[in-house]
Each structure stands twice: as structure tokens, then as C-alpha cells.
């Protein structure tokens, strides 16, 4: 087994120098293209740490070089935790500019550690490294372990508050940084840190994909995802168009915040579509549902169940003066009026493999207008 591992490592070694340049370069370009400063800064921090460990991380290096490695071990986790707590907006605010200035100052500070005049500081940073033990050969001093522990706690707390792919990527990057700093130098440090960066890049790509294809308000796939799904349809299928009745009047009477609350409620109900149906936010107050492999007749009972479920669902509007956090002693404000809405649905089916999905959508739209003309709150099949 050890011979196989050595052979695999030997096969990878020629590609190791290019690995960080490819991953971090691609990640920075993607972050710039998608206007995501937070992951870009994290990738630059990881890349700087990787280059520093490659240059100064030799276990047999001088005291000054070991002090540089110790500085990376202390600063890297704290930098990642600080960036994890920033948002895209806060990074462009004064607090973000302070963070950016501190990040820019760190390379100079680490370089100064090697100065002969700062030998006492170098010895303090290196103190305790000899004989220090860690996880599976990862050797870190107590201050370095404390830095990673604090960073992990901060990043975990941030993830608990905001469970996004980017925040998950920060946790994995911290784990990779812990293993890389313990490895010190060579193939392992480069692979660990670059793989941590790769996780952030993949999280960035997936997040950007979701922003492009998912509707943020309802959580449903959006119009672009619907258009892509149409391209993959073939054979028999049914398409239903769903419209909230009197939505404009509801918005005018109760405000746009109430309208958003209504859209979320309807979207949540549509996610429970049975019969193999998949719901999409088509635009405005209109939704679409695809039923691959189903006819209109087969989809009809499931659409009728959705219509009845939405009609039977009532919800209470959030008051504009409602506090963001529940007070210790809530003050009764009197009964709130519960509201309910209805939807109209039109459904059409394909007439064979040559059917144009766009023509089926148009037929479902015409059926939807017939449902509205017949009094709303009903399901109508295309003729």
C-alpha cells in the first residue's frame, strides 16, 4: 500500500506547482466576474499563505523562517474568520476598508519578523514548537491552536446564523488551513491550502448558479431554470400556468411587503406538488408547473389539490411595527385580520415528440385566461 501511495504522490508532484495558480487564478477571475469580493479576498489570503509556507516552511529552516511560519499559523485562521463575518456590503463600508488595510499590512509585518532586530519576537513566536503535538502529526503551538479554535468557533457561529454555501466553504477552508500549517511545507501544504481554495471556488460557482436560476423570494427555480427545463422536455408532458387572483389589488390594499409574504406562501404550497410536478416562479404573480410523462388529465387531480390547499390556507400579515426580535413581555395589539387568496390554473399537454414546449406554454396560458374569465379560483384544461 505504501508503495502505491508513494507512486501516486510521485505522479502528482510534477503538477503541484501549477495547482495553486490554476485554482486561485480561476477563483479570483470568477469572483471578479460575479462581483463577489468576500471569496476573492479569502482566496488571496490562502494563496499568500501557500506561497509563504512554500518559501519558508522547511522544518529545518532558520529561526527567522520558522517565525514566519508561526506568523502564518496565527494570522491565517483569524483572517478567514474575519472575512467569514463580513458581507459583500460590509466589505465596501468603512469597516471593510479597515479589514482590507489590515490584510495589506500583514505581508509587511510578517517580513519584518525576519529582521535581526526582532529576533526576540521571532523566538517568542517559535517558542513551544519543539515537541508540540497535534492531530495525526499536525504540530502546532498552543497559541496557534487557540487561534484556530477561536476562528473555528467564529466561523461556525456565522454559519449557524447564515447557512450559505460560501460560509460552508469558509469552514472547509479553515480545516484545510489547519492541516496545511501543521504539514509545514512541501506537497502536503500546497495541496491542503489549494484544495481549501477549490472548495471556496466551487461554493462561489454554485452560489452564482443559484442566484441566476433560483428565485430568491420564494426559493423556487426561476424563469431561466424553467426555460432550460423546457429544452429537456420530450414525449408526453403537461404544463400548468398558475396565477394568483387579484394580486394587484392585494398589493394596493396591503402593500408590497404583504405581497411578498403572499408570494412566499403560494410558493411554499407549490413546492408540495405531487404527481411528479415541479414548480417554477415564472414572473410576477405567475408560476409554472411541469409534469414530465403526464397528460393534462393525469395532472388535473394534483392541480385541483393545490388550488384547494391555497384556498384553504389563511395567513396573518406581519405588522410593519413588529419588532425584529420577540420582546420579553409582548404587548397585545388586538386581533389581526387573517387573509386568504385563491389561484387560477390553466393546463395543457404535448401532442407528441414534435410538440414545441413553447406552444404548450401558450396553450396553458390561454387556458389560464379562460379560468380567470370564468370567475377565477378554478382549473381549466386547454381544448
The C-alpha cell 426580535 sits at: 325
Query: Taking the CB of residue 241, how many other CB atoms lie within 10 A of it?
Result: 24
CA–CA separation, 17 and 71 (whole Å): 23
Partnered with residue 381 across adjacent β-strands are 347
Reduced to 3 states (helix: H, G, I; strand: E, B; else coil), residue 339 is strand
Radius of gyration of the chain (CA): 29
Angle at 106 between CA 189 and CA 190, to 5 degrees: 10
SS3 (DSSP) at 360: helix
Give the CA count within 13 Å in the CB-facing half-sphere of 81: 18
What count of other Cβ atoms lies within 10 Å of the Cβ of residue 2? 6
Q: Please confirm, yes or no, whether 285 is among the known catalytic residues.
A: yes
Q: Which of 285, 286, 311, 354 is catalytic?
A: 285
CA end-to-end span of the chain: 68
Of 35, 93, 32, 23, the residue nearest 211 (C-alpha): 35
Grid cell 403537461 in the structure block, residue: 238
Q: Which residues are catalytic?
A: 285
Amino acid at each position: 500500500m505504501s508503495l502505491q501511495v508513494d507512486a501516486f504522490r510521485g505522479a502528482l508532484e510534477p503538477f503541484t506547482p501549477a495547482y495553486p495558480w490554476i485554482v486561485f487564478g480561476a477563483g479570483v477571475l470568477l469572483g471578479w466576474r460575479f462581483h463577489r469580493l468576500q471569496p476573492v479576498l479569502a482566496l488571496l489570503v490562502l494563496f499568500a499563505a501557500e506561497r509563504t509556507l512554500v518559501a519558508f516552511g522547511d522544518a529545518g529552516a532558520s529561526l527567522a523562517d520558522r517565525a514566519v511560519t508561526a506568523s502564518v499559523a496565527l494570522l491565517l485562521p483569524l483572517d478567514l474568520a474575519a472575512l467569514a463575518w463580513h458581507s459583500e456590503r460590509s466589505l465596501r463600508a468603512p469597516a471593510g476598508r479597515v479589514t482590507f488595510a489590515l490584510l495589506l499590512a500583514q505581508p509587511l509585518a510578517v517580513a519584518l519578523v525576519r529582521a535581526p532586530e526582532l529576533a526576540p519576537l521571532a523566538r517568542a513566536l517559535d517558542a513551544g514548537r519543539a515537541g508540540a503535538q497535534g492531530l495525526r502529526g499536525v504540530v502546532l503551538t498552543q497559541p496557534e491552536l487557540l487561534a484556530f479554535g477561536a476562528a473555528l468557533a467564529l466561523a461556525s457561529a456565522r454559519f449557524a446564523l447564515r447557512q450559505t454555501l460560501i460560509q460552508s466553504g469558509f469552514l472547509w477552508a479553515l480545516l484545510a488551513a489547519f492541516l496545511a500549517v501543521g504539514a509545514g511545507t512541501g506537497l502536503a501544504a500546497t495541496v491542503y491550502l489549494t484544495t481549501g481554495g477549490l472548495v471556496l471556488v466551487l461554493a462561489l460557482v454554485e452560489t452564482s448558479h443559484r442566484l441566476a436560476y433560483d428565485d430568491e423570494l420564494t426559493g423556487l427555480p426561476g424563469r431561466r431554470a424553467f426555460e432550460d427545463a423546457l429544452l429537456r422536455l420530450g414525449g408526453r408532458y403537461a404544463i400548468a400556468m398558475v396565477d394568483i387572483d387579484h394580486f394587484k389589488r392585494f398589493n394596493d390594499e396591503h402593500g408590497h411587503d404583504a405581497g411578498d409574504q403572499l408570494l412566499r406562501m403560494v410558493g411554499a404550497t407549490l413546492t408540495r406538488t405531487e404527481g411528479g410536478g415541479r414548480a417554477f416562479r415564472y414572473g410576477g404573480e405567475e408560476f409554472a408547473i411541469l409534469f414530465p410523462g403526464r397528460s393534462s388529465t393525469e395532472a388535473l387531480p394534483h392541480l385541483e389539490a393545490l388550488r384547494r390547499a391555497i384556498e384553504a390556507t389563511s395567513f396573518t400579515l406581519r405588522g410593519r411595527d413588529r419588532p425584529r426580535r420577540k420582546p420579553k413581555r409582548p404587548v397585545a395589539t388586538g386581533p389581526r385580520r387573517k387573509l386568504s387568496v385563491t389561484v387560477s390554473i390553466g393546463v395543457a399537454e404535448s401532442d407528441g415528440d414534435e410538440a414545441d414546449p413553447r406552444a404548450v406554454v401558450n396553450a396553458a396560458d390561454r387556458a389560464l385566461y379562460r379560468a380567470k374569465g370564468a370567475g377565477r379560483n378554478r382549473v381549466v384544461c386547454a381544448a
